[in-house]
Amino acid sequence: MNADQTLDATGLLCPLPVLKARKRLQALASGQTLHVMADDPAAIVDVPHFCAEAGHTLLSMDQSGTVQTYLIQKG
């Protein structure tokens, strides 16, 4: 699935990946998707929690080496 937007949050530490994802999602219409890349170990917990709290859907979560990728659908 192709995302409507991509956010490269690698190199950023908590809480920046989630804050930047929140800002990017605000610009999207409901139902559009955001692909997020992060390498902060805390993002594994923070991103799913953010999605649940903000009403977004975490469509996928994957890790390749130190980089995690998330596909978020705006609620």
Whether 36 contacts 3, CB under 8 Å: no
14 is catalytic: yes
Q: Check 14, 44, 59, 71 and give the catalytic one.
A: 14
| Fold of the domain built from segment(s) 5-73 | Translation Initiation Factor IF3 (3.30.110)
> For every one of its 75 residues, what pLDDT tens digit does the chain have, with 9 covering 90 and above?
689 999 999 999 999 999 999 999 999 999 999 999 999 999 999 999 999 999 999 999 999 999 999 999 999
- Domain range annotation of the chain: 5-73
**Gap between the Cα atoms of 44 and 67, Å rounded:** 10
Q: Is the peptide bond before 48 cis (omega within 30 degrees of 0)?
A: no
Q: What's the predicted TM-score (pTM) here? A: 0.95
